[in-house]
A and B are shown apart, each in its own frame.
Chain A
Amino acid sequence: MCLAVPAEVVEILQNDVAFIDVGGLRKKINLSLVEGVQTGDFVLVHAGFAIEIIDEEEARKTMELFEELACLDEIR
């Protein structure tokens, strides 16, 4: 029930309304729960609202960690 999906913000209108891209479709969401969203940001969407901005830098770090783990295993 706490399911939230990542999606890119493609257009920001007035009154906290924005459009995200979901598999090529534009979907309307509400931005009133997050501070400072910009077009091109990825947000987590839950029940029609963005609940957090995804941190690209942190995402990259986690991925690097995962890749490192996989490589370590190949070496063994």
Chain B
Amino acid sequence: MKYVDEFRLPGTARSLVRKIRELGTGATFMEVCGTHTMAISKAGLGPMLSPQVELISGPGCPVCVTSDMDIDTAVAVAHMPGVILATFGDMVKVPGSHGSLSDASAEGATVKVVYSPLEALDLARSESDSEVVFLGIGFETTAPVVAATILEARKRELRNFFVLSFHKLVPPALRALAATEDFSVDGFILPGHVSAVIGSRAYSFLPSEFGIPCVVAGFEATDILQSVFRLMQALTARPSVAIEYSRVVRPEGNQKALSVMYEVFEPVDAEWRGLFRLPASGLGLKEEYREYDAGAWPVEIPPATGDKGCRCGEVLCGKIKPSLCGLFGGACTPDNPVGPCMVSTEGTCASYFLYSYDEVD
């Protein structure tokens, strides 16, 4: 078993689509993971299930929910003399209010793309005259990895490795969404890999306090369809958090990853694009690890420039589909993105642009 191809089953997918259509209720479900958004668009599940089921995207793309202010801070840090800013590739082209990291690099800042924060650690060792700052963007999937890297930096006694932590926590964002007055989503398709770390129990407030059923889903089309089918069934049952992705996700999550994450980080208030400032929804470095915190550096950020007309914030909350943004497909395309939802391949605008051509008109 390789755990990939075995789950790509066109026959199963077809029969699931049929079963879902037979139930036909007109329900709306929200997926909260950029990788799900991409998988759904790629497999064309949206049109297949409509009008019985409407699938909308939530704030599931870490790059997209990062605020302009945080991007501007990263750009300002990259411009500091002697700094090498190391980042995952997804962040490089995301525009803040004063350009992107890629623009900063064109202007002389040193920006390095890494696949793992451990590479940034190696960079700190080889470039001992520089200060290497790793840009920490991501949800609970990524935060433990960055925490483990900070522990490793301490072990290796590296003094020139720092982290700019803009990590975010998924449950507080879902709570904020669910509490919105006009929120009319009938169920959540929950992120598989965030849930691998935090466990399905972390979402139990969604059924218990808001009456919203949830399914933690895997990433193949069959996984997602099976999750939609289970959500349809849940509409008439007592709401709960079910796990479709049981080959990876447990109710209690990965306790070891969580303990590493909370050894280094603690919940802090964070700014989300589209959701504004949410209490205890981000992760900052704890007092004991402040020496690694580039977030404590004094940086000067020029005031934000005018509104670019990007409606990413509304897209991320599922309030509008990308095609309702006046810039979509015209002034804003993956080659010339105005907002982060068009930059990241996992962004809702980019997935719509790449895979649902009929929506461009």
Do B15 and A69 touch (CB < 8 A)? yes
Do B12 and A66 touch (CB < 8 A)? yes
Do B145 and A47 touch (CB < 8 A)? yes
Do A65 and B11 touch (CB < 8 A)? no
Do B248 and A1 touch (CB < 8 A)? no
A15–B96 Cα distance when bound, in Å, is: 39
Of all chain A residues, the one with the shortest Cβ separation from B147 is: A33
**Is the C-beta of A70 less than 8 angstroms from some C-beta in chain B?**
yes
Interface-centre pick from B116, B138, B218 (highest chain A CB count, 10 A): B116
The segment from B175-183, B189-197, B291-299, B318-326 that touches chain A is B189-197
Do A6 and B246 touch (CB < 8 A)? no
Do A70 and B145 touch (CB < 8 A)? no
Do A69 and B193 touch (CB < 8 A)? no
The segment from B45-53, B75-83, B254-262 that touches chain A is B254-262
Interface-centre pick from A52, A60, A70 (highest chain B CB count, 10 A): A52
Interface footprint category on A: 35 or more
Of all chain B residues, the one with the shortest Cβ separation from A61 is: B246
Q: Render B52-96 as a binary contact track against A, CB cut-off 8 A, 1 for contact.
A: 000000000111000000000000000000000000101000000
Do B226 and A63 touch (CB < 8 A)? no
Of all chain B residues, the one with the shortest Cβ separation from A8 is: B2
Question: Given A48-B145, A56-B1, A66-B9, is A1 in contact with B247 using a C-beta cutoff of 8 Å?
Answer: no
Contacts of B357 in A (CB 8 A): none
Q: Render A26-59 as a binary contact track against B, CB cut-off 8 A, 1 for contact.
A: 0000101111000000101011110110111011
**Is the C-beta of B117 less than 8 angstroms from some C-beta in chain A?**
yes
Say how far A57's CB is from chain B's closest CB, in angstroms: 9
Contacts of B90 in A (CB 8 A): 1
**Is the C-beta of B200 less than 8 angstroms from some C-beta in chain A?**
no
Contacts of A63 in B (CB 8 A): 6-7
Do A47 and B88 touch (CB < 8 A)? yes
**Is the C-beta of B34 less than 8 angstroms from some C-beta in chain A?**
yes
Contacts of A30 in B (CB 8 A): 118, 148
**Is the C-beta of A13 less than 8 angstroms from some C-beta in chain B?**
no
**Is the C-beta of B240 less than 8 angstroms from some C-beta in chain A?**
no
**Is the C-beta of B16 less than 8 angstroms from some C-beta in chain A?**
yes
**Is the C-beta of A25 less than 8 angstroms from some C-beta in chain B?**
no
Do A48 and B118 touch (CB < 8 A)? yes
Contact of B247 among A34, A48, A49, A59 (CB under 8 A): A59
Contacts of B193 in A (CB 8 A): 2-4, 44, 46, 51
Interface-centre pick from A34, A62, A67 (highest chain B CB count, 10 A): A62
Q: Render B1-36 as a binary contact track against A, CB cut-off 8 A, 1 for contact.
A: 111101101011011101100000000000001110
Do B63 and A1 touch (CB < 8 A)? yes
Say how far A16's CB is from chain B's closest CB, in angstroms: 9
Interface-centre pick from B9, B33, B137, B196 (highest chain A CB count, 10 A): B196
**Is the C-beta of B41 less than 8 angstroms from some C-beta in chain A?**
no
Do B11 and A1 touch (CB < 8 A)? no
A4–B226 Cα distance when bound, in Å, is: 20
Which residue numbers of A lie inside 8 Å of B, CB to CB?
1-4, 6, 30, 32-35, 42, 44, 46-49, 51-52, 54-56, 58-63, 65-67, 69-70, 72-74
Q: A58-B246, A66-B222 are in contact. List 10 more A-B contacts (CB 8 A).
A: A1-B62, A3-B35, A4-B196, A30-B148, A33-B145, A33-B254, A47-B142, A51-B196, A54-B248, A67-B9
Closest 3 CB pairs of A and B: A48-B116, A73-B15, A70-B11
- Cβ contacts A to B, 17 pairs, < 8 Å: A6-B3, A32-B148, A42-B1, A46-B142, A47-B88, A47-B116, A48-B117, A48-B119, A49-B144, A49-B148, A54-B248, A58-B246, A58-B247, A60-B1, A66-B7, A66-B12, A69-B226
